[in-house]
């Protein structure tokens, strides 16, 4: 079995204690992190390697930043999403891990937020999604297990928000955003959590403001998207909701999947 998890940690250095606790408790074989908010050299590699993980980082000072932690060796590491050589934001890292009988390709994704939607930030978000669709199309041609994991900043459906009416004008829930997310899935990809759990009320993010956590006013924006070769091996998914209740938590919680690999 291979356990792959994703987590927007909202600063790896501030929450290294939460991170190491999660690694010890959930024991993911691969963990994709987003919003590490530090350059490569400042990432807490030592704490993570001490627990038996290999580390690949694509960092950026103060903002963004992604990483992949793996119990298995990381090979063929790619930093940055292809399609725009001028894009300096650290939002994508991809690597291959070897498993019995083959390989699994894993990407950690921090898709742009896009707000306010009447600015160039939303234009950048949509263009980034187009680049992701194009890259995913190419990866699917490899016909190997693929996991595109991360904070997509997309609320796919109304049932993925406790109060969807509050999000109608937000870049995370605009029709064009959701349409591009569907276009990604329509390449032949599977959204892991919805393949296992079709119920409403499953959230991965609760804002720090207005008592959102206490009121369970959450949204689901952290997703693991699988190629057919990975989807065929999907056994289960889990949202590790309890981490939002820790002291000084991230506003996101990890989501993990188990694959029969």
* Set 110, 122, 152, 203: catalytic member: 110
Catalytic, 151? Answer: yes
- For every residue of 102-159, DSSP letters joined together read EEEEEEEEE-----STTSHHHHHHHHHHHHHHHHHHHHHTT-S-EEEEEE-----SGG
Place of tokens 């296992």: 196
Q: Rounded CA gap, 46 and 176, in Å?
A: 42
Q: Please give the C-alpha separations between residue 96 and each of 215, 249, 261, in angstroms, as whole numbers.
A: 40, 30, 14
Binding-site residue numbers are 8, 35, 151, 153, 251-252
Catalytic, 203? Answer: no
Contact 67, 87 (CB under 8 A): no
Q: Please give the C-alpha separations between residue 98 and each of 101, 104, 105, in angstroms, as whole numbers.
A: 8, 6, 9
Catalytic, 110? Answer: yes
Place of tokens 């590790």: 240
* Set 29, 151, 160, 170: catalytic member: 151
SS3 content of the chain, % helix, strand, coil (to 5): 30, 30, 45
Residue ranges of the alpha helices (H) in 27-119?
Answer: 45-49
Q: Rounded CA gap, 46 and 126, in Å?
A: 37
Binding-site residue numbers for Mg(2+) are 8, 35, 151, 153, 251-252
Pairing relationship of beta strands 30-34 and 2-8 according to DSSP bridges: parallel
Contact 116, 122 (CB under 8 A): yes
Q: Catalytic residues, which ones?
A: 110, 151, 252
């Amino acid at each position: 079995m291979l356990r792959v998890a994703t987590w927007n940690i909202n600063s790896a250095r501030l929450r290294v204690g939460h991170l190491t606790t999660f690694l010890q408790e959930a024991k993911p074989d691969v963990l994709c992190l987003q919003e590490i908010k530090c350059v490569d050299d400042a990432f807490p590699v030592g704490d993570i390697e001490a627990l038996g993980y290999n580390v690949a980082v694509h960092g950026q000072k103060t903002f963004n930043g992604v990483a992949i932690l793996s119990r298995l060796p990381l090979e063929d590491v790619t930093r940055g999403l292809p399609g725009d050589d001028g894009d300096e934001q650290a939002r994508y890292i991809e690597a291959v891990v070897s498993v019995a009988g083959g390989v699994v390709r894993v990407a950690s994704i921090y898709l742009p937020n896009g707000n306010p939607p009447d600015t160039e930030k939303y234009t950048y978000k949509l263009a980034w999604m187009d680049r992701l669709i194009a890259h995913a199309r190419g990866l699917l041609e490899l016909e190997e297990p693929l996991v595109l994991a991360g904070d997509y900043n997309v609320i796919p459906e109304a049932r993925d928000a406790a109060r969807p009416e509050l999000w109608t004008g937000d870049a995370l829930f605009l029709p064009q955003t959701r349409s591009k997310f569907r276009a990604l899935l329509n390449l032949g990809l599977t959204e892991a959590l919805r393949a296992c759990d079709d119920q409403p009320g499953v959230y991965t993010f609760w804002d720090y403001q207005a008592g959102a956590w206490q009121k369970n006013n959450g949204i689901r924006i952290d997703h693991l998207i699988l190629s057919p070769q990975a989807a065929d091996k999907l056994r289960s998914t889990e949202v590790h909701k309890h981490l939002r209740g820790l002291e000084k938590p991230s506003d996101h919680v990890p989501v993990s999947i188990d694959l029969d690999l």
